[in-house]
């Protein structure tokens, strides 16, 4: 249940001006209980974070205060919450079937892949936020619907581990700019992006709509394990004079991850400003260490279920391979010789992926859903008119073609046979993080001009607590 006080606070944010937040939004890094330039060295787990003496010496005299339930709910919803059903407004001829999910979020995703999920760390533990799929065009149509945001946070946050883990504001987790990383009282948000869904999906698109074969840069030959891609070339289905290369495909992954995660953390920044909280985005983090690649010395998220695999020798890479989070977020990947490899071969991987779009799939919250193109999906759970949707999902152009599917499998199996893994680069990315906290305004009053503190910040505790 959402209390009347919580509803009042939700209404307040609902009526805040986006223009005002864009005008005022700043990184605000100094929270309750923090310190700068004090000459201290503080042990955090196996690490020591040093605060050498400096001109901006300040040690907060106030105890950290964690975010309230309603504050946390607004922040997590802004980062990765549902907001309704997508329009999927493409034509059949330019691949409307590319969309993977029907639910829209507060953030975009390529092919609406829902590759981003949210891990957040608070004093109590490490959580995974994955709300349910949408049930209407706009989930939040008026102030009356705002309580959903609180209920999603309470009911669909899955606890992965107790305590804050050993993430600390120093190497090998974070750079020197981020000494107050993962402090008590703060909410550390780690948007974790799985690029593997869109990689598999784009292979279907390349072969069927762009008619592009994929070449191995190292050999100059088709990346084609069982000949299915060559058969498409021979039939004239793959006919582009400019092929895609494995290297170009690899490079696209990092770019996509940065865009999707970037929109998530910016949403958090704007929501924090509207509430009167401090936040800052930082990219100076090491996600290999955070994913437990060097446990047990540095556990990171290992106790939360983070999975990494050692790279096969033929991959010629040094760093471990980030695979996912057990039970809640495993990538569509194959790693030779790794007992935690999510899949063993391309066929198994592709069949499972196609179930998300055309069959039935299960979410980490154990709810089952019919895919966007499933014949069993309720027509009320898409944005198209009922008769249009019925015609669309019966259209042969919407369905996955068998020869295209075989070419995708052949490419995946080639990548594994030649390089020991698919995809060749990590599918799991945490390229940046955002931390949210209650500000110690005494620090800003001591060192900054008075106008840096907005009304929302100055009145935050009066209004929200």
pLDDT in tens, 189-226: 999 999 999 999 999 999 999 999 999 999 999 999 99
pLDDT in tens, 261-270: 999 999 999 9
pLDDT in tens, 100-140: 999 999 999 999 999 999 999 999 999 999 999 999 999 99
pLDDT in tens, 1-23: 899 999 999 999 999 999 999 99
Q: What is the CATH number of domain 4-464?
A: 3.40.109.10
DSSP 125: E
DSSP 204: H
Q: Among 59, 217, 71, 77, which Cα is nearest to 134's?
A: 77
pLDDT in tens, 283-297: 877 888 889 888 888
Distance in angstroms (rounded) separating the CA atoms of residues 122 and 69: 12
Distance in angstroms (rounded) separating the CA atoms of residues 310 and 321: 6
Helix (H, G, I), strand (E, B) or coil at 389: helix
The contacts found for 23-29 with CB under 8 angstroms, 24 or more apart, are: 24/273, 24/454, 24/456, 25/269, 25/270, 25/273, 26/273, 26/452, 27/269, 27/279, 27/280, 27/281, 28/272, 28/278, 28/279, 28/280, 28/439, 28/457, 29/180, 29/278, 29/280
Does pLDDT of 169 surpass 70?
Answer: no
- Categorize the per-residue pLDDT at 415 as very low, low, confident or very high, splitting at 50, 70 and 90: very high
pTM, 2 dp: 0.96
Tell me which of 30 and 254 has the higher pLDDT: 30
Q: What is the pLDDT of residue 265?
A: 98
Q: What is the pLDDT of residue 101?
A: 98
- Cα angle value 70/188/340 (rounded, 5°): 115
Helix (H, G, I), strand (E, B) or coil at 373: coil
Rounded to an integer, the average pLDDT of 358-382 is 93
Q: What is the pLDDT of residue 92?
A: 97
Q: How far is CA 287 from CA 150, 291, 360, 422, in A?
A: 29, 6, 32, 19
pLDDT in tens, 43-97: 887 788 899 999 999 999 999 999 999 999 999 999 999 999 999 999 999 999 9
pLDDT in tens, 385-407: 999 999 999 999 999 999 999 99
pLDDT in tens, 38-47: 999 988 877 8
Q: Where are the alpha helices (DSSP H) in 359-401?
A: 386-394
Question: Which stretch of DSSP H or E encloses residue 90?
Answer: none
Distance in angstroms (rounded) separating the CA atoms of residues 218 and 267: 41
What is the residue extent of each domain of the chain?
Answer: 4-464
């Amino acid at each position: 249940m959402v209390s009347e006080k919580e509803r009042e606070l939700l209404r307040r944010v609902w009526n805040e001006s986006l223009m005002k937040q864009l005008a005022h939004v700043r990184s605000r890094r100094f929270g309750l209980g923090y310190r700068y330039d004090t000459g201290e060295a503080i042990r955090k787990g196996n690490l020591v974070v040093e605060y050498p003496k400096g001109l901006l010496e300040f040690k907060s005299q106030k105890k950290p205060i964690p975010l309230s339930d309603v504050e946390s709910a607004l922040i997590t919803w802004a980062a990765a919450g549902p907001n309704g059903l997508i329009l999927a407004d493409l034509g059949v001829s330019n691949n409307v079937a590319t969309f993977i999910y029907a639910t829209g979020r507060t953030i975009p995703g390529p092919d609406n892949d829902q590759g981003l999920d949210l891990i957040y760390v608070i004093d109590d533990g490490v959580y995974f936020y994955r709300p349910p799929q949408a049930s209407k065009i706009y989930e939040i149509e008026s102030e009356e619907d705002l309580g959903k945001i609180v209920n999603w946070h309470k009911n669909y946050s899955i606890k992965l581990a107790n305590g804050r883990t050993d993430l600390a504001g120093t190497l090998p987790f974070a750079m020197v700019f981020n000494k107050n990383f993962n402090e008590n009282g703060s909410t550390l948000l780690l948007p974790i992006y799985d690029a593997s869904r869109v990689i598999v999906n784009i292979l279907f698109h390349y072969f069927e709509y762009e008619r592009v074969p994929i070449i191995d840069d190292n050999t100059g030959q088709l990346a084609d394990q069982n000949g299915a891609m060559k058969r498409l070339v021979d039939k004239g289905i793959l006919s582009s004079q400019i092929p895609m290369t494995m290297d170009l495909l690899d490079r696209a992954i990092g770019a996509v991850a940065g865009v999707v995660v970037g929109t998530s953390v910016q949403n958090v920044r704007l929501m924090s400003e509207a509430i009167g909280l401090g936040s800052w985005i930082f990219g100076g983090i090491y996600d290999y260490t955070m994913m437990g690649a060097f446990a047990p010395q540095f556990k990171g998220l290992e106790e939360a279920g983070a999975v990494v695999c050692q790279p096969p020798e033929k991959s010629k890479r040094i760093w471990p391979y980030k695979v996912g989070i057990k039970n809640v977020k495993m990538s569509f990947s194959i790693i030779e010789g790794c007992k935690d490899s999510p899949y063993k071969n391309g066929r198994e991987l592709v069949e499972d992926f196609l179930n998300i779009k055309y069959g039935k799939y299960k979410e980490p919250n154990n709810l089952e859903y019919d895919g966007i193109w499933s014949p069993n999906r309720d027509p009320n759970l898409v944005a198209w008119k009922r008769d249009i949707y019925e015609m669309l999902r019966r259209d042969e152009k919407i369905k996955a073609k068998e020869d295209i599917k075989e070419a995708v499998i052949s490419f995946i199996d080639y990548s594994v046979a030649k390089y020991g893994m698919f995809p060749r680069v990590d599918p799991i990315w945490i390229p940046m993080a955002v931390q949210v906290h209650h500000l110690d305004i005494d620090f800003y009053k001591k060192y900054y001009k008075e106008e840096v503190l907005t009304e929302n910040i100055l009145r935050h505790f009066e209004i929200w607590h």
